[in-house]
Amino acid sequence: MTDGYEADSARLAGQAGQLDPLASRVTSIHETLSAALSEAGPCWGGDAVGQSFGTAHAGPADSTLSRLGSLPEQLGSVGTRFTDTAARYTADDDHGVERLRAAGPDVSEA
């Protein structure tokens, strides 16, 4: 059959497993960066220009660091969705085969 679409459930499930090492790497990067930034302390400077720069950029910097910290969980969620989707595709295919077999013999084989 050439119309429609095709899904490779095994490959999709396999791709899910590749996200775990990425999540671990992001966790490590986040921990290293957080520790370095904490150790450095405020680095904007005490003069008017430094304070102005800090006021403008501290919020976005903190937000970015926070998002980086939540990325491993998000990657895990994507991996779970890949695995769940692959299982649904396989179950749907199996169910379709069962229904076709239950419908009777293949008339093209007769």
Rounded to an integer, the average pLDDT of 90-102 is: 92
In a domain, 106, yes or no: no
Interior angle at CA 73, CA 22 and CA 36, nearest 5 = 70
Give the domain range for residue 84.
Answer: 11-41+61-91
> Which residue type occupies 69?
G
Looking at every residue in the chain, the average pLDDT score rounds to 89
pTM exceeds 0.85: no
In a domain, 48, yes or no: no
How many percent of the chain have pLDDT more than 70?
94
In a domain, 86, yes or no: yes
Q: Give me the count of residues in the chain.
A: 110
pLDDT at position 3 over 80? no
In a domain, 52, yes or no: no
In a domain, 67, yes or no: yes
In a domain, 73, yes or no: yes
In a domain, 109, yes or no: no
**Residue 16 exposure: Cα atoms within 13 Å on the Cβ side:** 18
How do residues 24-54 score in pLDDT, each as one tens digit?
999 999 999 999 999 988 888 889 998 898 8
Interior angle at CA 49, CA 45 and CA 51, nearest 5 = 55
Dig out the tokens for 26 from the structure: 């992001």
In a domain, 18, yes or no: yes
Q: What is the pLDDT of residue 75?
A: 94
State the total domains in the chain: 1
H or E segment and range at residue 6: none
